[in-house]
Amino acid sequence: MHALLAASLLLLASCGPQIGDLERGEEGRVARVFAGDTLLLEDGTRLFLAEIDAPSGEAPYAAQAQG
């Protein structure tokens, strides 16, 4: 069972793009973390991380998500 799971994960990992195939994106420095999914860059750009649902407000672990 473990061998089948390991083989399946290896097969899935090999289907993605190779690191050399990826284009380099924009760069910036993080000035502040509002929540685990919202960042403020030094140039004033607010960056929202897609598919990340970090706790905020009074939710458990919200303080830890803000760094």
pTM score over 0.85: no
pLDDT the model gives residue 66: 66
Q: What is the pLDDT of residues 12-49, one digit of tens each?
A: 777 766 666 667 788 889 998 877 788 899 999 998 88
Q: Break the chain into its structural domains and give their ranges.
A: 29-67
Q: How far is CA 28 from the centre of its chain?
A: 15
Q: For residue 36, give the nearest of 22, 25, 47, 27 by alpha carbon.
A: 47
Q: What angle do CA 31, 41, 24 make, to 5 degrees?
A: 125
